[in-house]
Amino acid sequence: MMLYFNPNKFDFWKIYESIKHYYPIGIKKDESELYYSYPGLKELEAIVVDNIHNNEHFISRWVNFTKEIEVEIAREIIGTTYGQAPSFSSFVVLEKNSMDNLTRTKELHFFVSLAGPYYTIIGQHNIAIKIGDNKNYRSTNYLVVSPENEFTDAFHLLCGKIEKQFKGFRFVPFHLCKQTIEGLNVRFTNENLCTVFYALFNNQIDMNNLNIIGNDYYKSNDWIKEGYIDDGGGWSSYPPKV
């Protein structure tokens, strides 16, 4: 799926403009001198360094924030931020059950972009199997893309906390996160078709997972254009019939 939405109703162009600003769309990484000399990419690298590699800033802007959430939610939070990707990220361990060599976990991952005022939240149900002393095999059974079932309360809490802490940040619906932009390349993955999620956040979630629970248009109403009048059309705008 290439990037697609109803431009008459939704203002998702803001996301595209952010990506276009920071990434040299149409230039491959193997054209390294040209790719890495792109001014927007250099600007994004400086933002990542300031927010993540500067330990004092990272602690004050993210670690302390997640510690506050950990106390309120009474669940362990594990940090997953890494220095190549343009986002803060962590996940809440909602459940963890082990029996013999099998471990099941329910995790709620949350991401705050450094490439623009965007965030998103995605739940995962995982299974890990330990074989021998050193080999572990992990798979994700399904993704949770909106407040559903046992993920509901934590999902709502995280949305509220992030929007309070990061003023003006909006939730990017999963339906948009999983879309691709032709010619987009990000430095921390070698995939030929990069998703909006990769550009704004990281590559820690498998966007190709077909097992999805929830509304993948969740919070898309936050992106409706001011003054838009609903004519009864759907979420997407399709070409007219000839």
Q: What is the pLDDT of residues 39-48, one digit of tens each?
A: 999 999 999 9
**Cβ–Cβ under 8 Å, residues 26 and 207:** no
Instruction: Give the pairing of strands 212-213 and 135-144.
Output: parallel
Instruction: Give the pairing of strands 118-131 and 102-113.
Output: antiparallel
Q: Which residue has the tokens 């996940």?
A: 91
Question: What is the spatial distance between Cα 38 and Cα 174, in angstroms, rounded to a whole number?
Answer: 28
Q: Which of the residue ranges 17-21, 81-85, 157-161, 227-231 would you say has the lowest mean pLDDT?
A: 227-231
| Mean pLDDT computed over 174-197 | 88
**Helix, strand or coil, per DSSP, at residue 95:** strand
